[in-house]
Structure 1
Amino acid sequence: MNIKEQLDLNGKVAIVTGSSKGIGLAIAKGLAENGANVVISSRDQEACDKVAAELTNSGLKAIGIACHIGKEDQRKALVDKTISALGGIDILVNNAAINPVFGPIEDADEAVFNKIMDVNVKAPWTLSNLVLPSMQERKGGSIINIASVEALTPGMGLGLYSTSKAALLMLTKNQAKEWGKYGIRANALCPGLIKTKFSQALWSNEKILQKVERALPTGRMGMPEEMEGMVCLLASDAGAYMTGGVYTADGGYMIAG
Structure 2
Amino acid sequence: MRRAGLLLALSGRAWRSVRMASSGMARRDPLANKVALVTASTDGIGFAIARRLAQDGAHVVVSSRKQQNVDRAVATLQGEGLSVTGTVCHVGKAEDRERLVVTILDINVKATALMTKAVVPEMEKRGGGSVVIVASIGAYFPVPGLGPYNVSKTALLGLTKNLARELDQRNIRVNCLAPGLIKTSFSQVLWKDKEREESIKEIMQIKRIGKPDECAGIVSFLCSEDASYITGETVVVGGGTPSRL
Confirm whether residue 223 of structure 1 aligns to residue 211 of structure 2: yes
Q: Which runs of 5+ in 2 are unaligned?
A: 1-19
Confirm whether residue 205 of structure 1 aligns to residue 227 of structure 2: no
**Structure 2 residue corresponding to 1:69, chosen from 64, 82, 91:** 91
For residue 227 of structure 1, report the CA deviation from its aligned partner.
0.4
Q: Deviations over 1:162-203 (max 9, x none)?
A: 110111111111110010000000001100001111111110
Q: Residues 116 and 235 from structure 1, CA distance in 2 versus in 1: closer, same or farther, beyond 3 angstroms?
A: same
Q: Is the partner of 1:220 in helix, strand or coil?
A: coil
For residue 50 of structure 1, report the CA deviation from its aligned partner.
1.4
For residue 6 of structure 1, report the CA deviation from its aligned partner.
8.4
Aligned ranges 1:76-115 → 2 under 5 Å: 114-115=102-103
Are the counterparts in 1 of residues 203 and 242 from structure 2 also a CA contact under 8 Å? Answer: no
Q: Is the partner of 1:253 in helix, strand or coil?
A: coil
Please report the TM-score for the alignment, with normalisation by the length of structure 1: 0.81
Q: Residues 249 and 214 from structure 1, CA distance in 2 versus in 1: closer, same or farther, beyond 3 angstroms?
A: same
Are the counterparts in 2 of residues 10 and 35 from structure 1 also a CA contact under 8 Å? Answer: yes
In the alignment, what sits opposite 1:49?
71
- Amino acid across the alignment from 2:113: W
Q: Using the alignment, how far apart are the partners of 1:136 and 1:196 within structure 2?
A: 34
- Amino acid across the alignment from 1:58: E
Aligned ranges 1:115-130 → 2 under 5 Å: 115-130=103-118
In the alignment, what sits opposite 1:95?
none
- Amino acid across the alignment from 2:122: S
Q: Residues 253 and 140 from structure 1, CA distance in 2 versus in 1: closer, same or farther, beyond 3 angstroms?
A: same
In the alignment, what sits opposite 2:13?
none
**Structure 2 residue corresponding to 1:37, chosen from 47, 53, 59:** 59
| More divergent stretch after superposition (66-75 vs 15-24) | 66-75
Runs of 4+ in 1 over 4 A off after TM superposition: none
Confirm whether residue 17 of structure 1 aligns to residue 39 of structure 2: yes
- Amino acid across the alignment from 2:208: R
Q: Residues 248 and 6 from structure 1, CA distance in 2 versus in 1: closer, same or farther, beyond 3 angstroms?
A: farther
Q: Deviations over 1:20-54 (max 9, x none)?
A: 10000000000000011101100011211111111
Q: How many residues align?
A: 219
Identity, in percent, stands at 43
Are the counterparts in 1 of residues 236 and 243 from structure 2 also a CA contact under 8 Å? Answer: no
In the alignment, what sits opposite 1:101?
none
- Amino acid across the alignment from 1:50: R
For residue 216 of structure 1, report the CA deviation from its aligned partner.
1.6
Please report the TM-score for the alignment, with normalisation by the length of structure 2: 0.85
For residue 73 of structure 1, report the CA deviation from its aligned partner.
2.5
Q: Is the partner of 1:23 in helix, strand or coil?
A: helix
Confirm whether residue 238 of structure 1 aligns to residue 191 of structure 2: no
- Amino acid across the alignment from 2:121: P
Q: Which has the larger radius of gyration?
A: 2
Confirm whether residue 60 of structure 1 aligns to residue 82 of structure 2: yes
Q: Using the alignment, how far apart are the partners of 1:214 and 1:194 within structure 2?
A: 15
Confirm whether residue 27 of structure 1 aligns to residue 49 of structure 2: yes
Confirm whether residue 180 of structure 1 aligns to residue 168 of structure 2: yes
RMSD between superposed Cα atoms in Å: 1.9
Q: Deviations over 1:65-106 (max 9, x none)?
A: 011023342147xxxxxxxxxxxxxxxxxxxxxxxxxxxxxx
